Structure 1
Amino acid sequence: MSVTALPDKAVTDVEKTIVSDHKRRVRVRPSNVFFNVLAIVLGIIWVFPVYWMVNSSMLSPSTLESATPTFIPFGGSFQNFMSVITPSFWSALAMSVTVTLIAVFFCLLFAFLASIAISRFRFRGRKTFILAVLLIQMLPAEGLFIAQYKMMSELGLLSNALGLSLLYIAAVVPFTVWMLRGFVAGIPAELEEAAMVDGLSRTQAFMRITLPLLAPGLVASGVYAFLQCWNEFTVALVIMSADTQTLPLWLRGFVQASQTRAIDWGQVMAASTIVAIPVIIFFLIVQGRMTSGLVSGAVKG
């Protein structure tokens, strides 16, 4: 089989065409460069407070009080971390973990059932229920403190993990219902009907078809509920006592204990870093599901 060679001029034209196409593909628009630089700058601004917190947690009080900022903790130590990890920390950690796990579990359970009912069924009072869920979000939390305190006092649930969990569930469930409602509405009911035609019961069709598709939405809603419960401060301040503190209340103790002397900002930053570690670990575990959940929740149909 013979191969016909192209003329030199034809080869040159082909090379020019390839080079031109390559330049056209790699050409960078000035607007893209601007937005990329802007994104990097905003990212640095967002990350810097976290970096400064971790950096300051490894510095001594004299270094932190110096007029010259120290951006890299050369010669730093973990002494501040060792100083703040006390029995009160473990007690506050256990309380926060207990309350958060209880609240997140029941928030997802109630919100899941409510979102299924709202999206899949038509019943009397459905629109009123949806409107009520929306209006509850407009109530200021501070306006409920007295009523919540009296209710927990009458139930004997003051300074109690169960009482605080009930208040967190009541506060987080409405918005979680709205989040999951969008995910459920985005899953066609025809998928369940097709599975039922193939011989599955309604329950089996839901468990095998709809529930796996809802997993990203459940993760995204769980992340929201987790953050709300883990970082909540004001309700815990009203309901809990000094012996039953959550981590945000424990963290406030470093400032209160320093009212008669200079605040040890190294310990404050170390304690803040410790409080943030569980959140970071949780995000690393669920970040894949959370991203797909946020994207799928934005698309309906």
Structure 2
Amino acid sequence: MRARRIGTNVMAALFCLVWVFPVYWMVNTAFKPRGDILSPTPQFLPLNFTLDNFADALAKPGFTRDLLNSVLVTVTVVLLSIVVAFLAATALTRFRFFGRRSFLIGVLILQMVPVPALVIPLFLGLKSAHLLNNLLGLTLTYVALVLPFTIWTLRGFLHGIPVELEEAAMVDGASRARIMRSVLLPLVLPGLIATSVFAFITAWNDFLFAYVIMKDQSGYTLPVWLVSFSTSTGTDYGGLIAASTLFALPVVVFFALVQRHLVEGMTAGAVKG
């Protein structure tokens, strides 16, 4: 048994090492001078430490504007998705209505559709609604992409909350809105955090829809801004890698803040209901 536990720990350590190494290599390269970055001999430690790459990245035109666009879109997507998903999941678990089963099947089907296959239909739909080249259209696109997952996850989480708690609150005179706010919301909070992480990563990291929907540079987000480091004259690898490191930092910080609740929410949402 002891040998088996040691073997399991070694395998887990190797897996973590393989997973972490690309991230370490990106951060390591961001602090290297250009000559070391293009050197055919790998350097696992930045022998010549420099911050020039970060200075070049921050000085790149459009950084502040695209950062604000990314923050605005991402925060809006997270808030809208968790509110709509919470209301939809509550309705699916607490009420019986016509089309409920069909709606659940539709949610499952939407999760199985490859995201690139949705580009043309969403583009045509936004064009008809006059929402192309508009941050509102981009925000609604991201909300539509994350809702199937968030609804299904919160539905599984809400299934684990006893209905008797709501019945007791009704006996005490609480309204449905008060029950959702004071009873269900605190209990489903880990699930909301788990789904908010998914919504955050989807909206923050997406390049495809941001590039297709936004044609005006004033509406670009940071993933599209990263492309500006590659031009017809070449690629600024130092600036690109430094910018990628800065771009990944908010996701790491956000995940570190909520990781405990994320594990609880994902586990409960996966096994209940």
How far, CA to CA, are the matches of 1:205 and 1:145 in structure 2? Answer: 39
Say if 2:99 is the partner of 1:125: yes
**TM (normalized to structure 2)?**
0.93
How far, CA to CA, are the matches of 1:265 and 1:234 in structure 2? Answer: 21
Say if 2:123 is the partner of 1:149: yes
Equivalent AA in structure 2 for residue 287 of structure 1: Q
Equivalent AA in structure 2 for residue 245 of structure 1: Y
> Which of the numbers 248, 262, 268 marks the counterpart of 2:240?
268
Equivalent AA in structure 1 for residue 264 of structure 2: S
Equivalent AA in structure 1 for residue 222 of structure 2: L
Report the 3-state secondary structure (helix = DSSP H, G, I; strand = E; otherwise coil) of the residue aligned with 1:292: helix
Partner of 2:17: 44
Equivalent AA in structure 1 for residue 237 of structure 2: W
Identity %: 46
Q: Is the 8 A contact 1:93 1:247 kept in 2?
A: yes
Equivalent AA in structure 2 for residue 110 of structure 1: V
How far, CA to CA, are the matches of 1:70 and 1:36 in structure 2? Answer: 28
> Which of the numbers 243, 259, 262 marks the counterpart of 1:287?
259
Equivalent AA in structure 2 for residue 60 of structure 1: P
Q: Which has the larger radius of gyration?
A: 1
Equivalent AA in structure 2 for residue 55 of structure 1: N
Q: Is the 8 A contact 2:32 2:46 kept in 1?
A: yes
How far, CA to CA, are the matches of 1:176 and 1:85 in structure 2? Answer: 34
> Which of the numbers 222, 232, 235 marks the counterpart of 1:247?
222
**Please, which runs of 5 or more residues in structure 2 have no aligned partner?**
none
How far, CA to CA, are the matches of 1:113 and 1:94 in structure 2? Answer: 29
More deviation, 65-74/39-48: 65-74
> Which of the numbers 82, 88, 93 marks the counterpart of 1:108?
82
Equivalent AA in structure 2 for residue 289 of structure 1: H
Report the 3-state secondary structure (helix = DSSP H, G, I; strand = E; otherwise coil) of the residue aligned with 1:209: helix
**TM (normalized to structure 1)?**
0.85
Task: Kindly tell me the number of residue pairs found equivalent between the two proteins.
Answer: 271
Give 1:242 deviation, angstroms.
Answer: 4.9
**Please, which runs of 5 or more residues in structure 1 have no aligned partner?**
1-27
Matches within 5 A, 1:4-83: 29-83=2-56
Report the 3-state secondary structure (helix = DSSP H, G, I; strand = E; otherwise coil) of the residue aligned with 1:76: coil
Q: Is the 8 A contact 1:182 1:300 kept in 2?
A: yes
Equivalent AA in structure 2 for residue 288 of structure 1: R
Partner of 2:155: 181
- Alignment deviations for residues 83-114 of structure 1 (CA, whole Å, 9 cap, x no partner): 01134111111111111111111111111111
How far, CA to CA, are the matches of 2:194 and 2:124 in structure 1? Answer: 33
The structure-2 alpha-carbon separation of the partners of 1:67 and 1:297, relative to structure 1 and needing over 3 Å to count, comes to same
How far, CA to CA, are the matches of 1:60 and 1:153 in structure 2? Answer: 45
Q: Is the 8 A contact 1:186 1:299 kept in 2?
A: no
> Which of the numbers 204, 208, 222 marks the counterpart of 2:182?
208
How far, CA to CA, are the matches of 1:85 and 1:207 in structure 2? Answer: 42
More deviation, 52-61/150-159: 150-159
Moved over 3 A (4+): 198-203
How far, CA to CA, are the matches of 2:163 and 2:220 in structure 1? Answer: 45
Report the 3-state secondary structure (helix = DSSP H, G, I; strand = E; otherwise coil) of the residue aligned with 1:137: helix
- Alignment deviations for residues 114-146 of structure 1 (CA, whole Å, 9 cap, x no partner): 101111111111111111111222333333323
How far, CA to CA, are the matches of 2:267 and 2:118 in structure 1? Answer: 34
